[in-house]
């Protein structure tokens, strides 16, 4: 028994993320607990709002476990949001129906950055840690639990823009016009993220992922300076061991493309790959000892099951024989995907992947 409950019965994900042999390719889905599931929509309606759902450990646990009751997945991922840190920094986070997140008090001046508090996970973010502990207990060793955070650059875009953006006008204006100020903000967010992820490990997370959703919006040189640098700091600073076992770290930059080889050197155990890079190319760029996670185009799940199966085969074949692959979508599952299409993907991976591991 570990401090969080029984030993793992299925550790395929952890082994694959550490580039160790597995009898088949493990898989999970980004946003696997989400709006495409009717049971999720029912729980969210009960919660009253998305933020209430995130902040209620019992309901967050409930939705985290829902996809595992339907599909033969190899991991649970904590149900939360990448904007929990700015919420804990008192920036006035709200989720408007159909509008996405908004921050009532965006960070745009030197005084704003200076006054930004670095939250203590055990107090301002205790609801997340309580959810991690509860989920870990409820999983009872069935599969590992993935904890996560947004990357400092991605979280900073929301903090400065005050919400989502297509042009990133405000934060890019800061990046090019006041780079020192942006570095100060990123340093604070990085410190908060290291504390937050380490606290998730302490609470029971067995793998970690950092989502750099907007890294692909940067030029290569700006990516290195304002995103990759801070991903490296997280990899170096975060807790990477618990209960005598490594806690593998996945770094995912959507749109990384040719910079994937540099992301693979940032200090994580694995890189996430979106659907715009061939997985065989990603494997070569990552190099030996770095696992690769991905990368089915989420829109494939709109197609009939036979087409889904063919595309699963294509992804498995593009990675090829050997270990160190975690099958996933190249980004989150779309809300209007039929759950039975997700099932077709899961079953195809179970059926087709063993031949790549003999």
Q: pLDDT band at residue 139, thresholds of 50, 70 and 90?
A: very high
Q: Is 356 exposed, middle or buried (0-12, 13-18, 19+ CB in 10 A)?
A: middle
Q: Using one digit for the tens of pLDDT, what is the confidence trace for 24-68?
A: 999 999 999 999 999 999 999 999 999 999 999 999 999 999 999
Domain count of the chain? 1
Long-range own/partner contacts, residues 122-125 (CB < 8 A, 24 or more apart) = 122/199, 124/88, 125/84, 125/85, 125/88, 125/196, 125/199
pTM for this entry: 0.98
Active site members: 31, 35, 44, 81, 158
User: What's the average model confidence in pLDDT over 237-254?
Assistant: 97
Q: Residue 295: is the preceding peptide bond cis (ω within 30°)?
A: yes
Q: Is the pLDDT of residue 277 over 90?
A: yes
- What pLDDT is recorded for position 3? 65
Q: Is 1 domain-assigned?
A: no
The pair of three-digit structure tokens given for residue 268, joined into one six-digit string: 């994580």
The whole-chain average pLDDT of the chain stands at: 97
Q: pLDDT over 90 for what percent of the chain? A: 96
Q: Is the pLDDT of residue 4 over 90?
A: no
Q: Is 205 domain-assigned?
A: yes
Q: Is 168 domain-assigned?
A: yes
Q: Is 4 domain-assigned?
A: no
Q: Using one digit for the tens of pLDDT, what is the confidence trace for 72-83?
A: 999 999 999 999
Q: Is 214 domain-assigned?
A: yes
Q: pLDDT band at residue 324, thresholds of 50, 70 and 90?
A: very high
**CATH number where 302 lies:** 3.20.20.210
Q: pLDDT band at residue 121, thresholds of 50, 70 and 90?
A: very high
User: Is the CB of residue 212 less than 8 Å from the CB of residue 154?
Assistant: yes
Q: Give the integer Cα–Cα distance in Å for 86 and 116.
A: 9
Q: Is 66 domain-assigned?
A: yes
User: What's the average model confidence in pLDDT over 185-201?
Assistant: 98
- What pLDDT is recorded for position 5? 72
- What pLDDT is recorded for position 2? 58
The CA-based dihedral angle spanning residues 228, 128, 242, 67, taken in that order and rounded to the nearest 10 degrees:
-90
Instruction: List beta partners, residue 253.
Output: 212
Q: Using one digit for the tens of pLDDT, what is the confidence trace for 247-271?
A: 999 999 999 999 999 999 999 999 9
DSSP secondary structure of 33-46: SSTTSHHHHHHHHH
Q: pLDDT band at residue 102, thresholds of 50, 70 and 90?
A: very high
Q: State the DSSP code for 222.
A: H
Q: Is 236 domain-assigned?
A: yes
Q: Using one digit for the tens of pLDDT, what is the confidence trace for 152-181?
A: 999 999 999 999 999 999 999 999 999 999
User: Is the CB of residue 183 less than 8 Å from the CB of residue 231?
Assistant: no
- What pLDDT is recorded for position 319? 98
Q: Is 5 domain-assigned?
A: no
Q: pLDDT over 70 for what percent of the chain? A: 99
Q: Using one digit for the tens of pLDDT, what is the confidence trace for 202-228?
A: 999 999 999 999 999 999 999 999 999
Residue 205: which domain range?
A: 12-357
């Amino acid at each position: 028994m570990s401090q969080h409950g029984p030993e793992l019965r299925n550790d395929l994900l952890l082994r694959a993320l550490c580039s160790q042999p597995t009898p088949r390719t493990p898989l999970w889905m980004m946003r696997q607990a989400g709006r495409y599931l009717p049971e999720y929509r029912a729980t969210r309606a009960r919660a009253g709002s998305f933020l209430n759902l995130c902040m209620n450990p019992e309901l967050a646990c409930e939705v985290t476990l829902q996809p595992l009751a339907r599909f033969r997945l190899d991991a649970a991922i904590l149900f939360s949001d990448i904007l929990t840190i700015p919420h804990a920094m008192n920036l006035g986070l709200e989720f408007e129906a159909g509008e996405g997140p908004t921050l009532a008090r965006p960070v745009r001046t030197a005084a704003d950055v200076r006054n930004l508090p670095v939250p203590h996970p055990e107090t301002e973010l205790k609801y997340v840690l309580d959810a991690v502990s509860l989920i870990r207990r409820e999983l009872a060793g069935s599969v590992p639990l993935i904890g996560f955070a947004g990357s400092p650059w991605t979280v900073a875009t929301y903090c400065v823009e005050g919400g989502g953006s297509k042009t990133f006008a405000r934060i890019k204006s800061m990046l090019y016009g006041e780079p020192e100020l942006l570095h100060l903000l990123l340093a604070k967010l990085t410190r908060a993220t290291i504390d937050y992820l380490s606290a998730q490990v302490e609470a029971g997370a067995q793998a970690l992922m950092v989502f750099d959703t907007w890294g692909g919006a940067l030029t290569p040189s700006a990516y290195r300076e304002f995103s990759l640098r801070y991903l490296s700091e997280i990899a170096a600073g975060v807790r990477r061991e618990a209960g005598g076992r490594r806690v593998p770290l996945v770094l995912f930059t959507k749109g990384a493309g040719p910079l994937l080889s540099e992301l693979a050197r940032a200090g994580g155990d694995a890189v996430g790959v979106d659907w715009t890079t061939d997985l065989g190319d990603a494997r070569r760029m990552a190099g030996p000892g770095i696992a690769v996670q991905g990368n089915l185009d989420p829109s494939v799940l709109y197609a009939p099951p036979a087409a889904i199966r063919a595309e699963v085969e294509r992804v498995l074949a593009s990675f090829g024989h050997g270990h160190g692959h975690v099958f996933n979508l190249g980004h989150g599952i779309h809300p209007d995907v039929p759950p039975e299409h997700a099932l077709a993907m899961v079953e195809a991976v179970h059926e087709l992947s063993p031949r790549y591991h003999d």
